Amino acid sequence: MIYDSLNKVFYYKKIEIKEKEDYIQSIKNIFAGEEKLHLPYKIVKLSLNSHSFTLMPKRLFKKDDISLYLNTTGELNNKESFLSFDEISFNSCYLAYAWGKEMTKLLKNYFPNSSMHHKVTCLIHGWHEQSKLKEGNKVYIHVDLNYFTISFFREKNLIFINRFQYNSAADFLYYVLMVYSQFELKPDNDPLFISGNIVQNSEIYQKLYRYIRHIQFISSPAYFDFDKSFVNLSHYFNFDLYSLKLCE
């Protein structure tokens, strides 16, 4: 996605990499074939994803202990992982994470002056911005293939965030209602905002709608002005991408 100094989005392209393809080679092929990736930009921000992450309060966080924090998740491969962290200043915490060393090196070679942020960091900042629009409790979900990230905000404060893998719509609903139950939220009153890879006529959406009274797709970000060519794009699909702008 490319936008100008006035935050007007004028270019967007989605390229999917199939599950069985060599990810690193696919990135190299994409970079070789996309002319716009070779143009000079004032600011370049990249978002990468991994399941190895955890939130730590600022008062307890130590940069040298990231591997220790992540080893408790069971996802960390020390030899192949690049360790880093993002500051979540509004909540006085850090998101510590790991992702592939080879991918990090490749992208830094392509974009040496870029900043990198974890996908969950993008979501947290985007949800925080959305939380300012409505008072009270809010639950947010971003859906990906076979997993989703869920958070709970009380007013503008992040109370909970986690990621769950699912194999069926029943699994999905179970985890969502578990969060509602854990924090004594009321499905009849406390709203659920969803984004990502989900449509209204899907089984997942229909199950959620049956149990949660106030459910809606997350609204488009006010900080972007979209060119008229984007009129038919469902913006909630790209909420994680748009939220990258908020990361510093």
Q: Work out the pLDDT band at 1, boundaries 50, 70, 90.
A: very high
Domains of the chain (ranges plus CATH)? 2-125 (3.30.420.250), 128-217 (3.30.420.260)
Query: 241: helix, coil or strand?
Result: helix
For residue 232, the model assigns a pLDDT of 85
Residue 110 has pLDDT above 80, yes or no: yes
Pairing of strands 8-11, 225-226: parallel
For residue 208, the model assigns a pLDDT of 97
131 contacts 156 by C-beta, under 8 angstroms: yes
Q: Work out the pLDDT band at 13, boundaries 50, 70, 90.
A: very high
Q: Work out the pLDDT band at 213, boundaries 50, 70, 90.
A: very high
Residue whose C-alpha is closest to residue 125's, from 155, 158, 96, 148: 158
Average predicted confidence (pLDDT) for the chain: 93
For residue 78, the model assigns a pLDDT of 63
For residue 73, the model assigns a pLDDT of 57
**What's at 202, amino acid-wise?**
S
Q: Tens of pLDDT along 27-76?
A: 999 999 999 999 999 999 999 999 999 999 999 999 999 999 998 655 56
For residue 75, the model assigns a pLDDT of 58
How many residues does this entry show for the chain?
248
Close Cβ partners of 118 (under 8 Å, ≥ 6 residues apart): 47, 48, 49, 50, 53, 84, 86, 95, 97, 99
Cα separations in angstroms, 69 against 50, 55, 76, 95, 101: 15, 9, 10, 11, 18
Q: Tens of pLDDT along 190-209?
A: 999 999 999 999 999 999 99
Residue whose C-alpha is closest to residue 201's, from 169, 228, 176: 169
Residue whose C-alpha is closest to residue 36's, from 10, 17, 16: 10
